[in-house]
Amino acid sequence: MSSWIPLWLHKLGSPPTFYRFAGTLRPWAMGLALLLGAIALYGGLVLAPADYQQGDAYRIIFIHVPSAWMSMFIYAVMGVASFIALVWRIKLAEVVAMESAPIGAAFTFITLVTGSLWGKPMWGTWWTWDARLTSELVLLFLYLGVIGLYHAFEDRRQGARAAAFLAIIGIINVPIVHFSVNWWNTLHQGSTVNIFGKSKMSWDMLWPLLTMMLATKFYYVASLFNRVRTDLLALEGGKDWVRKIAEDEAKS
């Protein structure tokens, strides 16, 4: 482990410390996610006006787009964690990468289904082999491949390394998902939200969308911590701190 990694990070990377740290932080992240989610839903479903073209169907946007962003964001996180895991062999990075995958797969799945639920009234079809749709489907397959590869190995750390490798190979798909609308002219919408410049969307619709985006980010943190804690228990089964937890839990 290189010396330039600050000491606190190094400490945090130690499984028992992180286990405790994540345990205290998780409820806060979950609480924020629920609060922001509730506000965003109220704003999106009640306050925001209907779209002049799409009517009320556009309200799927408040879950479709944040989920779509999360599907790519989580993949990026997974890719970075995978890289760290492979280069420095830090156990926590392996776990973060591997436990991000199911959450990412969940959001990808939501994106695909909400997208096709939206597509039926708007395009008249559930599914076409459009570039963005296809690349998002490929993203789902990549997530499933990472999850499957991780669990296919008997040695979990070996599985984590192999799956991390796949995650890194697959990262080229993320820019393809994002830019596919620019590169090929297709059915799917181009960019309408622009965080830094001027968005093409009215503020009434935009703020619930951005709030929901924040809510999903917090949700991700909460869910990730929850999963990482469980996985650390499975991975560190030989260590005393885990044995203690196991015995304590057996007693209670």
Between 127 and 241, whose beta carbon lies closer to ligand HEM? 127
- For the bound state, the minimum distance from the C-beta of residue 213 to ligand HEM, rounded and expressed in Å, comes to 11
Q: Which residue is nearest to ligand HEM (CB)?
A: 115
Q: Pick the binder of ligand HEM from 19, 75, 118, 225 (CB under 6 A).
A: 118
* Tokens 């830019």 sit on residue: 179
| Binding region for another protein (CB under 8 A) | 45-46, 50, 55-57, 59-60, 63-64, 67, 102-103, 106, 109-110, 113-114, 117-118, 120-121, 128-129, 134, 137-138, 141-142, 144-145, 148-149, 152-156, 158-159, 161-162, 165-166, 169-170, 173, 219, 222-223, 226-227, 229-230, 233-239, 242-243, 245-247, 249-250
Which among 173, 149, 192 is positioned nearest to 72, based on CA atoms?
Answer: 173
Reading the block at residue 152, the tokens are 């296919």
Cα–Cα distance measured from residue 229 to residue 17, given in angstroms and rounded to the nearest whole number: 11
* DSSP track, 191-223: ----SSS--SS-HHHHHHHHHHHHHHHHHHHHH
- For the bound state, the minimum distance from the C-beta of residue 63 to another protein, rounded and expressed in Å, comes to 5
- Residue pair 222/29 in contact (Cβ under 8 Å)? The answer is yes
Between 14 and 194, whose beta carbon lies closer to another protein? 14
Which among 6, 23, 171 is positioned nearest to 86, based on CA atoms?
Answer: 171
Q: Running DSSP on this structure, what letter comes out for residue 45? A: I
- For the bound state, the minimum distance from the C-beta of residue 36 to ligand HEM, rounded and expressed in Å, comes to 19
- Give the binding range for ligand HEM (CB under 6 A) out of 3-11, 41-49, 85-93, 129-137: 129-137
Q: Pick the binder of ligand HEM from 192, 202, 234, 244 (CB under 6 A).
A: 192
| Conformational region of residue 208, where left means phi above 0, alpha means psi within -120 to 50, and beta covers everything else | alpha
Q: Which of helix, strand or coil describes residue 55?
A: strand
Between 122 and 162, whose beta carbon lies closer to ligand HEM? 122
Cα–Cα distance measured from residue 31 to residue 33, given in angstroms and rounded to the nearest whole number: 5
- Residue pair 98/81 in contact (Cβ under 8 Å)? The answer is no
Kindly state whether residue 132 participates in binding ligand HEM, applying the rule CB under 6 A: yes
* Tokens 């990026």 sit on residue: 76
Cα–Cα distance measured from residue 58 to residue 100, given in angstroms and rounded to the nearest whole number: 29
Q: Pick the binder of ligand HEM from 14, 125, 158, 191 (CB under 6 A).
A: 191
Which partner in another protein, ligand HEM, none is near 192 (CB below 5 to 8 A by kind)?
A: ligand HEM
Interface residues with ligand HEM (CB under 6 A) are 61, 64-65, 68-69, 111-112, 115-116, 118-119, 122-123, 132-133, 136, 177-178, 188-189, 191-193
